[in-house]
Amino acid sequence: MAEKSEAGCARPTGGLVGEPDQTQEREVPQPTKETKRMIQVGKAAPDFVAPAYHQGRFTSVKLSDQLGKWVALCCYPGDFTFV
């Protein structure tokens, strides 16, 4: 688990590891080239880092820090949804 993060007023965001920080500069979209990454079983999971809440603390999670363990990554539409 990564170190505790301070809770500032800015909303923390994460992103893919190795991608340019889009909060700094916005890339001009290239209409000619479709570079959407697709996931595939048997292939590497895209690495990312994301802010997280865990057991009373704000922290962050980097997928590649979990190497050596089995990971179940789950996502859902939103907090306080019913299912």
Partner 1 sequence: MSVDSVFVHKMWNDHELSKMVEGGVPFPMLSDGGGKVGTAYGVYDEQAGVENRGRFIIDPDGIIQGYEVLTPPVGRHVAETLRQIQAFQLVRESKGSEATPSGWKPGKMTLKPGPELVGKVWEVWKTDMASD
Query: Which parts of this chain interact with partner 1 (CB under 8 A)?
Result: 1, 7, 11-16, 19, 22, 37-48, 50-55, 58-59, 61, 63-64, 66-81, 83
Residue 32 CB, shortest distance to partner 1, in Å, is: 20
Shortest distance (Å) from residue 31 CB to partner 1: 17
Residue 39 Cβ vs partner 1, minimum distance, rounded to whole Å: 6
Distance between CA 66 and CA 75 in Å, rounded?
17
Specify the residue, 33 or 43, whose C-beta has the smaller distance to partner 1: 43
Encoding tokens for residue 6?
């301070």
Please classify residue 58 by burial: count the beta carbons closer than 10 Å to its beta carbon, then call 0-12 exposed, 13-18 middle and 19+ buried: middle
State the CB neighbour count (10 A cutoff) for residue 69: 6
